[in-house]
Amino acid sequence: MGITLVSMTYIEAVVLGVLQGLTEFLPISSSAHLRVAGELMSSDPGAAFTAITQLGTETAVLLYFWKDIVRILTHWFMALPVWPTSSRISPADPDARLGWWIILGSLPIGILGFLLEDLIDTSLRNLWITASTLIVFAVFLGLADKFSKQVKTLENMTWKEALTYGLFQAMALVPGVSRSGGTITAGLLMGYTRSAAARYSFLLALPAVFASGLFKLYRALTDPQEVVYAGPTIVATVLAFVIGYLVIMWFLKLISTRSFMPFVGYRVVFSVVIVALLVSGVLTPVSTHAGAM
């Protein structure tokens, strides 16, 4: 099914790019913010636009965690059984194991994203669903932050926990859940520290977001039914990268000393605002351009 792209001005692209960069790494759902902001300006920017602009924010993750990513990839590769015993890294090496856990944790969102693509691009973008998930996962995050032990580090992770992280990340296919919010909540519930849960959330997102964004970009460039507004999309993606990088630095410093409760409160307020706009008729639950960019 082709995706019809609605016209987008550069001003709208700037607003959406800045919003993507500001919200992608915070547990408040970037897709929900883009959905609402796009609707208020013209029409739903669409799942495709969200996926492509996320390439910008995930490039920020790639740059910020470059040394960690290279180390994890190197250790994972050198721990494969194809190497001689004398030069092989132990499979029990924490970074080698983390590489496997990221692969395992990426499977749920990859499989469900592929199987449910049409549903994700259309029905699940209903703003009543978005408002509901904002509230529900605000409660989960708040309870996890308040009552979890927060003692584990990533070296303690098991394959079952890696899969649990992945399942929570897959829930973020529904706008309002939040990719970082879902995975951070999972980490806190399993007893991980705030910093460990957030760091793993960023790393786990890389395979899924790059795969999704590049797939949507390929579709936009090769499907003859597509109408691609390349300029605004590029502007939004670049802005998302720059602002996203700054947000990563700020967020990781913040959670080293503060709780997630301000984000819990924000999610509740944002949900109430969406409901008020729906009831007043300012927003419509299902955009006439659902799935459009």
In the block, tokens 């700020």 appear at: 250
Instruction: Give the pLDDT score at 49.
Output: 73
Its sign, for the CA torsion 102, 255, 37, 15, is negative
User: What does the DSSP assignment read for 94-145?
Assistant: HHHHHHHHHHHHHHHHHHHHHHTHHHHHTGGG-HHHHHHHHHHHHHHHHHHH
> Residue 265: what pLDDT?
96
Cα(244)–Cα(59) distance, integer angstroms: 9
Would you write out the chain's pLDDT as a tens digit for each of its 293 residues? 333 344 678 888 899 899 999 999 999 998 899 888 888 886 556 666 777 888 899 999 999 999 999 999 999 999 998 888 777 899 899 999 999 999 999 999 989 988 887 887 778 889 999 999 999 999 999 999 999 999 999 998 999 999 999 999 999 888 899 999 999 999 999 999 999 999 999 999 999 888 878 887 777 677 665 555 678 888 999 999 999 999 999 999 999 888 999 999 999 999 999 999 999 999 889 865 443 33
The residue whose two tokens read 């529904």 is 174
- Separation CA 253–CA 226 (nearest Å): 42
In this prediction, residue 230 carries a pLDDT of: 75
What gap in Å lies between CA 9 and CA 236, rounded to an integer? Answer: 11
Residues in the chain: 293
| pLDDT for residue 101 | 96
